[in-house]
Amino acid sequence: MNDRNAIVISASRRTDIPAFHMPWFMDRIGTGVFEVVHPFSRKIRIVPVSAASVHTIVFWSKNFGPFLEEGCGERLEARGFHLYFQFTLNPEDPVLEPGVPPLENRLAQLRELALRFGAAGVNWRLDPICFYRLEEKGRMRNNLGKVERIADAAAAAGIASCTTSFLDLYAKVRRRAAGRSGFCFVDPPLAAKIETLLGIETMLARRGISLFTCCEAQLLASLPETSTVRAGSCIPSERLVALYGGSLSMARDPGQRRSQGCLCRVSVDVGSYGRQRCRHGCLYCYAL
C-alpha cells in the first residue's frame, strides 16, 4: 500500500457492524462502494472501496462473535484489506449493557481476534466508565467490578493497549436513565476520576498494558507527572502505517471532539444510526 490518497474505513462509531450488520457490510465490499449518509445533513456520499483505495478497515464492536463465526476477517484479508479492531469490553452489568453476550464469551472472542489477526491489531476499550445509583440515596456503584479478569485475558492474548473514558452525561443519556425507576447516573468529582484512573493504570501496568484516554483533556492535565497515561487515538493512523506500511493522511478528524483531547486521524465512517441500528440497548449509549 503506497497510495497516499488511501483512506481508513471506520466501521463504525455509529453502530455495531460486526455484531449485527456484517452481511450488509460484506455485500457493500463485494459491490465496491458504500453510500454514506451524513448523520445531520442527510447528504449521500459515494465511497469506492477496494484494497487499492482503503489502507485499513477499523472495526468497532462489543460482540465480535458473528464476525468471527462467519470468517469475515479472513475473507476481507483475502481481498487484500488490512484490519484493526477496537473491542469495547466492559465487565458484565445487565443494567448498563443488557444486550451484550456473557463476559466469558467476549473474552473468548478477544483471544480469537488476537490469535487470528495478531494482538498488535487489537485495542481493548474499557469504555465508558460509569458511576451510578440504583436508588436515589443508594450506594455509589460503578461498572469496574471484574476489570482485572478482562486485563488478565488481554495480557495473556498479548494485547498491550487499553483506551478508556468516563461517561459523558449528555441530555439524551440523562433522559434515558430517567426512565428507569430510582436509577441515576452520577458524574463523580475530578478527584474521584483521578483516583480511579490511576488505579486502573497501576493494575494494567503490572500486566504490561499501557493506558490511554479518549477525549479526557481536563482529566489528563490533572494527573501527576509520574503518570504514564496518555491521550489516545481511536483511528490511530500512525499505528496503522507502522503495522501495515504505506502512507496515510495524519490530519486530525474535524468531526471529532478535538477540544476535549481527541487525537483521531481522518477516516470515513460507513455506519448509520438509522439504517444499521445497534441492538445492544446500552443505557449509556451516545448514539441513540
CATH label of the domain that carries residue 217: 3.20.20
Q: Where are the alpha helices (DSSP H) in the chain?
A: 17-20, 22-31, 65-69, 72-78, 103-117, 147-156, 171-178, 190-205, 217-221, 237-244
pLDDT band at 3 (very low <50, low <70, confident <90, very high): low
Name residue, grid cell 442527510: 42
pLDDT band at 187 (very low <50, low <70, confident <90, very high): very high
Whole-angstrom CA distances from 98 to 184, 206, 283 are 16, 31, 8
Lowest-pLDDT range, 108-122, 151-165, 168-182, 214-228?
168-182
The answer as to whether 45 is a domain residue is yes
Which residues span the domain enclosing 147? Answer: 7-269
Residue closest to 143 by CA, chosen among 209, 92, 77: 92
Total domains in the chain come to: 1
Average pLDDT, the chain: 94
pTM of the full predicted structure? 0.95
The answer as to whether 211 is a domain residue is yes
Q: In the numeric block, which cell numbers belong to residue 60?
A: 468497532
| Three-class SS of 233-246 | CCCCHHHHHHHHCC
For the segment 201-209, the average pLDDT, to the nearest whole number, is 98
The answer as to whether 283 is a domain residue is no
- Cα(282)–Cα(288) distance, rounded to whole angstroms? 9
